[in-house]
Amino acid sequence: DAKTTQPTSMDCAEGRAANLPCNHSTISGNEYVYWYRQIHSQGPQYIIHGLKNNETNEMASLIITEDRKSSTLILPHATLRDTAVYYCIVRVGYSGGGADGLTFGKGTHLIIQP
């Protein structure tokens, strides 16, 4: 799986949009960008994933650059409950019956300030 680079930590004011960047310059054509988050000691929570088109769901939006070398996760209206470590993970979207484990990097510790 391609390596990802994320800032160690970020602050965001409550109610504002939180924009979390991720660099994945060695991403392959069949690799997706996945985002998970982990609120203190809870199980990682799936947020969103995408291949090359921008994606949006009830939790967040994912913006992937045209060259696919970087992406941004957007939480449109951050709340205190969004304080967590956010992981950007690049991997094959479907391993054809396999079950490849996720490789968690260091992630970004997002702190939402009241």
Partner 1 sequence: AAGVIQSPRHLIKEKRETATLKCYPIPRHDTVYWYQQGPGQDPQFLISFYEKMQSDKGSIPDRFSAQQFSDYHSELNMSSLELGDSALYFCASSPEGPTTDTQYFGPGTRLTVL
Which parts of this chain interact with partner 1 (CB under 8 A)? 34, 38, 41-46, 49, 87, 93-107
Nearer to partner 1, 63 or 104 (CB): 104
- Min CB(97)–partner 1 separation in Å: 6
Percent composition of the chain: helix, strand, coil (DSSP 3-state, to 5): 5, 45, 50
Nearer to partner 1, 51 or 63 (CB): 51
Nearer to partner 1, 27 or 47 (CB): 47
In angstroms, the CA 42 to CA 55 distance is 25
Nearer to partner 1, 19 or 38 (CB): 38
In angstroms, the CA 15 to CA 39 distance is 19
Name the nearest CA neighbour of 110 among 40, 32, 24.
40
- Min CB(73)–partner 1 separation in Å: 15
- Min CB(93)–partner 1 separation in Å: 6
Taking the CA of residue 82 as centre, how many other CA atoms within 13 Å lie in the half-sphere pointing to its CB?
Answer: 26
- Min CB(14)–partner 1 separation in Å: 26
In angstroms, the CA 52 to CA 32 distance is 8
